[in-house]
Amino acid sequence: MDAFAPIPPEWTHKAVHAYEFCCPSCRASSLEAVQVWINRRSPVLTEGNRRKWQEFYHCQCGCVWWAWSSDRPPSDLIKQQDSELE
């Protein structure tokens, strides 16, 4: 499965909106998803003309959820890179 495929996979049709950036059923993080698809064809412009996309996640528990890319928490990888530079 290509996360950037132009056509949404069938499993995204039953997605529910997660208001926190985790599975609304089991609270697993997006990193634990078994499938991911990002709707890059329909960005939404926010204040300041920044783009955000719908990110769809098929969780290991079977729940399918989506959230806005702008709601994703900061990555731990940035913290790791900063500490390696010191």
59 assigned to some structural domain: yes
48 assigned to some structural domain: yes
Tokens of 32: 């634990």
Contact 57, 76 (CB under 8 A): no
For residue range 14-42, what is the model confidence (pLDDT) as tens digits? 999 999 999 999 999 999 999 999 998 87
For residue range 49-65, what is the model confidence (pLDDT) as tens digits? 888 999 999 999 999 99
Tokens of 86: 């010191």
For 13-82, list the strands marked E by DSSP: 16-17, 35-45, 51-58, 64-68
Burial class for 85, CB neighbours closer than 10 Å (0-12, 13-18, 19+): exposed
Domain that holds residue 18: 10-85
Separation between Cα atoms, residue 1 and residue 9, nearest integer Å = 8
76 assigned to some structural domain: yes
Domains in the chain, number:
1
